[in-house]
Structure 1
Amino acid sequence: MAGIAKQVRKRGQPFEAPCMLLSGGETTVTIRGDGRGGRNVEFLLALGVALNGEPGVFAIAGDTDGVDGQEEIAGAVLMPDSLSRAR
């Protein structure tokens, strides 16, 4: 998703901005350590790292059953400044 989002921003391919990239299905994550969160949080953290603050790219990941892994949350939101705020 990060690669496609960057391609849209830099080259207008495969779509011109503004646009929305939508995907569905169950993601797979590898559990390491004792961190908290689930698939949606993992997806957005990895996306945030890959995007590295790419301007104009926002993302949301949500779970239809209302929980994400072992947590009581249903997902997360990523904004261009999310990583810098977290640091």
Structure 2
Amino acid sequence: MEADRSMMEMKIAATAGLTRVTFEPGGVVFTLDAGEFITLQLDPSLAPSVEINIWPNGISVWLPYPGESDYIVLDSGNDELARLW
């Protein structure tokens, strides 16, 4: 999939060991090994409303209320994994 230039990309990476990445409020989960990453593609105007919480072995990404926009999750090869809302 070619990146949409009107969208911004946020890289979310696992730095040490198995990491669970959860997109809320929908509860969509991805598991990454150390060194792996996924990319969240979203409208740049919504970026200030995204909340990211990090703890050992986990990352939660709180997105603005569903219906505000589409959020696209890409793998490290830039292929679409999921489309949220």
Give TM-score, length-normalised by structure 1. Answer: 0.30
Q: Which has the higher contact order (CA 8 A, sep 6+)?
A: 2
Query: Which protein is bigger by CA-based radius of gyration?
Result: 1
Give TM-score, length-normalised by structure 2. Answer: 0.31
Which has the larger share of strand?
Answer: 2
Which has the larger share of helix?
Answer: 1
